[in-house]
Structure 1
Amino acid sequence: MENSNNILTSTVAIGKNSSHPLIANRPGYGTMRLTGKDVWGEPENRPEALQILRRAIELGVNYLDTADYYGYGVTNRLIEEALYPYPSDLIIGTKIGAMRKDDKSWNVFSKPEQLRQSVENNLKELKLEQLSLVHFRVMPVGETSFEESLEAMFQLQNEGKILHVGLSNVSREQLQTGLKMGNIASVQNLYGYTQRTTLSGPMGGAGGEEILDLLEENEIPLIPYFSLQTSLNKTQEKIEQVAKKYELSIAQMNIVWLLHKSPWILPIPGTTSLAHLEENLNAAKTTLDKEDIEFLS
């Protein structure tokens, strides 16, 4: 299945400083919401979930975000069923470092042997011989040191199981450490117009604000998660005002803002609605006036 109706107009390079950079169209698509309630089990409407994945590709999306602990294994299996054999330009980015138990809890899974097991899970579920991009997801309380886990990631890369190594949920200090250890292709942190720093909870959430300048300096994409989260504060009032001007929802304007904020941001908005998918991708073509950009800043 190749793109037949590409409506996306901008790109970003993943792993630009490597010998095998990947070019992703902006925005991509995050698959987490395609699971059941609490990111657990099969989607309520499985046929529509498959249709969403296929339609995203038709409209030009070539970056999909997934993880073997979504569902768990659900989003990987949906991607495989909907899209295999994959388009030649499709980039599937996944995350490891966490796992789910039958009580739906989120747990650390960051020992070297556990990271290897997760990579093998993703390879099997996605029917791939090599994973294009794997983010090491740092949990609030780790079982091993950050350095030991990341070294295991680079070892898997050396074995050819991973093409590009990324990081997720990292602080500025951890990112600086990672850059000294090897080539970091991308970073996936919490970031959105109304949520830029940290998020509490079992999965934690380091923000993108404190590292964006470092990523831009090193030409590394920021792939924000939870970017559509909104909160009732004065910040939301500003984006709501601009959204009304362009006849967009607040969530859609957040996508537009992320695309304007930096050419190194790769938004991955997720949705369980085929109609919302098309609306989000069409909204991404919106060009903000200079005055509106300054107002939102």
Structure 2
Amino acid sequence: MTDTFPLADRTVRRVGFGAMQLPGPGVMGPPRDRDGALRVLRRAVELGVNHIDTAQFYGPGVSNELIHEALHPYAAELAIVSKVGARRDTSGAWLPAQHPADLRADVEENLRTLGVDRLTAVNLRRMDEHVEGATDVPLEDQVGELAALRDEGKIAGVGLSTVSAADLGAARTITEIVCVQNPFSLVDQKDSDVLEASAEAGIAYVPYFPLGSAFPHLPKVTDQPAVQAVAQRRGATAARVGLAWLLARADNVLLIPGTSSVAHLEENMAVAELSLTPEDLAELASAA
């Protein structure tokens, strides 16, 4: 199993950090413990994280502002990836911002709040059809705008989020795609076709909901008896086993577990040291 994978113009460690949990409840407003959030970011870099995933609409603006305060000026090897395609209103609702002009404005806002001239990659967050107010903006217009921003030097690579295999294939006819960010976990492998297509093309695959959906009524990786049994046998937490399974699933998988706790961060980072055995993987297959 490899320890690193290419991401646009960088090579990053396969365990990074996702900043979505740094703002307050519902990904809105300031964190309950601002100093604690800053400590988490600084500790992540101390532990070797060189891939941070964020978005201007986390907070909104909160995650980016915290990253800037904690880490700017950034280490040369640090890859910062953001996403565009959505915004938040004052009540916390997720609003579509899918038109090319929206994407450009939000890339510019990410650059401003993070204090950088270029982002390593920006993911186009495609909106689900059922989202109220979402418009049917052609994928080629959206990807074309991000490709133009790349050619202008404002981003190093174009990524996609919440897309189908057909979307990925269509986007690749327009420009190079460097990463895909979709839901995937041991208990939700519906996206296997996108993962496999990404692996074959050498595209980084960044799973969100890596331990199962955040919605309470859907299955969680850590609740599965097979996961708990492997965790007990290996002296690890169930969460660590679930994340290790993802690293073992394909070499192009990059993890971005998020937390607002230094202790939880250190536990997440230790996943890279847990090498699952064929026996472990066979047992975990029963939880799929």
| Whole-angstrom CA distance in 1 between matches of 2:221 and 2:52 | 31
Task: Write the mapping of 1:80-99 to structure 2, written as runs, cut at 5 A.
Answer: 80-99=68-87
Q: Is the 8 A contact 1:97 1:138 kept in 2?
A: yes
TM norm structure 1: 0.89
Per-residue Cα deviation, 1:48-93 (whole angstroms, up to 9, x for no partner): 1000000000011100000000000110000000000001100001
Q: Judge which range, 216-225 or 137-146, deviates more.
A: 137-146
| Whole-angstrom CA distance in 2 between matches of 1:90 and 1:66 | 13
Q: What amino acid sits opposite 1:150 in the alignment? A: V
What SS class does the counterpart of residue 198 from structure 2 fall into?
helix
Q: Judge which range, 121-130 or 233-242, deviates more.
A: 233-242
2:257 match:
269
Report whether the alignment pairs 1:229 with 2:212.
Answer: yes
| Whole-angstrom CA distance in 2 between matches of 1:12 and 1:191 | 18
| Whole-angstrom CA distance in 1 between matches of 2:208 and 2:244 | 15
Q: Is the 8 A contact 1:248 1:283 kept in 2?
A: no
Q: Is the 8 A contact 1:194 1:235 kept in 2?
A: no
Q: What amino acid sits opposite 2:149 in the alignment? A: L
User: Which structure 2 segments of 5+ residues have no match?
Assistant: 214-218
2:216 match:
none
Q: Is the 8 A contact 1:252 1:284 kept in 2?
A: no
Per-residue Cα deviation, 1:197-230 (whole angstroms, up to 9, x for no partner): 3xxxxxxxxxx32211111110111011111236
Out of 139, 161, 164, the position equivalent to 1:171 is: 164
Q: What amino acid sits opposite 1:93 in the alignment? A: V
2:41 match:
53
| Whole-angstrom CA distance in 2 between matches of 1:34 and 1:223 | 19
| Whole-angstrom CA distance in 1 between matches of 2:274 and 2:245 | 10
Task: Write the mapping of 1:204-283 to structure 2, written as runs, cut at 5 A.
Answer: 208-229=191-212, 231=219, 236-283=224-271
Q: What amino acid sits opposite 1:184 in the alignment? A: I
**Relative to 1, partners in 2 of residues 1:292 and 1:175: Cα closer, same or farther, differing over 3 Å?**
same
| Whole-angstrom CA distance in 2 between matches of 1:234 and 1:78 | 30
| Whole-angstrom CA distance in 2 between matches of 1:159 and 1:180 | 20
What SS class does the counterpart of residue 173 from structure 2 fall into?
helix
Shift, 1:234, TM fit: 11
What SS class does the counterpart of residue 257 from structure 2 fall into?
coil
| Whole-angstrom CA distance in 1 between matches of 2:271 and 2:195 | 24
| Whole-angstrom CA distance in 2 between matches of 1:240 and 1:115 | 42
Report whether the alignment pairs 1:111 with 2:99.
Answer: yes
Q: Is the 8 A contact 2:57 2:86 kept in 1?
A: yes
Report whether the alignment pairs 1:125 with 2:113.
Answer: yes
Q: Judge which range, 77-86 or 243-252, deviates more.
A: 243-252
| Cα root mean square deviation, aligned | 1.6
| Whole-angstrom CA distance in 2 between matches of 1:127 and 1:219 | 30
**Identical columns (%):** 38
Q: Is the 8 A contact 1:132 1:162 kept in 2?
A: yes
2:155 match:
162
What SS class does the counterpart of residue 160 from structure 2 fall into?
strand
| Whole-angstrom CA distance in 2 between matches of 1:185 and 1:140 | 22
Q: Is the 8 A contact 2:185 2:221 kept in 1?
A: no
Report whether the alignment pairs 1:145 with 2:135.
Answer: no
| Whole-angstrom CA distance in 1 between matches of 2:125 and 2:189 | 18
Q: Is the 8 A contact 1:28 1:63 kept in 2?
A: yes
**Relative to 1, partners in 2 of residues 1:233 and 1:122: Cα closer, same or farther, differing over 3 Å?**
closer
Per-residue Cα deviation, 1:90-121 (whole angstroms, up to 9, x for no partner): 00010000110111100110101100110111
Q: Is the 8 A contact 1:271 1:277 kept in 2?
A: yes
Shift, 1:294, TM fit: 2.4
TM norm structure 2: 0.91
Q: What amino acid sits opposite 1:183 in the alignment? A: E
| Whole-angstrom CA distance in 1 between matches of 2:70 and 2:97 | 28
